[in-house]
Amino acid sequence: PLVMCALVPNESISSHVLDTVAGEPAERVAISAFFKEGDDWKRIGETYTGTDGRVPWVSPGFALKKGTYKLVFAVEDYYKRKQMESFYPYVE
């Protein structure tokens, strides 16, 4: 999903990932955050979801500014750990 944000002091990008098939939070899903600069995407952070499927931030050390953001969820590895086939290797 694309995330639009405004300048707000001390704010960050967060996410919550749910496995709707299993009916539980999706633990240890790698999430990368990107900021659009011109025609390019600049990686601004990467982290993993916790046991509750949440990440409090995916952009540490990056001061948010007005613009277009993108999160990329590496779902293929998550499903491999669950011994399931993934339809897509990632979702953005």
Q: Is the pLDDT of residue 3 over 60?
A: no
Entry pTM: 0.80
CATH of the domain at 74: 2.60.40.180
Q: What stretch of H or E contains 75?
A: helix 75-81
91 domain-assigned: no
Find the domain containing 13 and state its range: 2-81
- Residue 24's pLDDT is what? 92
- Domain count across the chain: 1
59 domain-assigned: yes
Q: What is the C-alpha separation between 41 and 44, in angstroms, rounded?
A: 9
Coil, helix or strand for 33?
strand
92 domain-assigned: no
pLDDT digit string, tens, across residues 27-80: 999 999 999 999 999 999 899 999 999 987 767 677 788 889 999 999 999 999
